[in-house]
A = this chain, B = another copy of it.
């Protein structure tokens, strides 16, 4: 359910108050666009983190249990249950009550994508000279806000470094 503010300035109309220069209006439009992107990112971000983590657990331990997810996410068990319901609605995971969590095809695709991005960002930070510890933490936060173009630039940089 995406809320869309009715403040977006129509592309065709001037929508310019007597006080507002055209430049200012343009600036407002561009900026609101960036903020909207950030808000939208936040919506998918958490889902991606959960899905990626579940994939990791399956690979590591051959199955993902809610409890492990809770511990790794640093979150209560009940929170995981609730989140899993939302992920099921989105068709990313499946789970029978009291059973292990499995990923759908879409889930695996999302996890793969996330892993790729994550790896690139983390390696990039390392190549930039950031410490292992900080690269790990920062990449987690940055990962979701990096466009494909920036990601490509980061990958290129890492390659050049070697």
Hey, which bits of chain A sit against chain B, CB under 8 A?
5-9, 24, 27-28, 30-38, 41-42, 49, 53, 60, 68, 70-76, 125, 128-131, 134-138, 140-142, 144-147, 149-150, 153-154, 156-157
Contact = CB atoms under 8 A, between A and B. Distances in A.
Given A128-B150, A130-B149, A140 B34 contact: yes
A154 B146 CA distance: 15
A39 B2 CA distance: 21
A21 to B, nearest CB: 10
A137 B27 CA distance: 13
A interface secondary structure, majority: helix
Given A34-B137, A145-B145, 17 more contacts: A6-B76, A7-B76, A8-B74, A28-B68, A30-B136, A31-B74, A34-B136, A35-B75, A37-B141, A38-B49, A130-B149, A130-B150, A137-B147, A138-B145, A138-B150, A142-B142, A142-B145
Contacts of A24: 60
A153 B128 contact: yes
A15 to B, nearest CB: 10
B7 A35 contact: no
Given A6-B76, A28-B72, A142-B142, A33 B129 contact: no
Contacts of A49: 35, 38
23 contacts: A5-B74, A5-B75, A6-B76, A7-B75, A8-B74, A9-B71, A24-B60, A31-B74, A32-B72, A32-B73, A37-B141, A38-B49, A38-B140, A38-B141, A128-B150, A128-B154, A129-B156, A131-B149, A134-B149, A134-B150, A138-B150, A142-B145, A145-B145
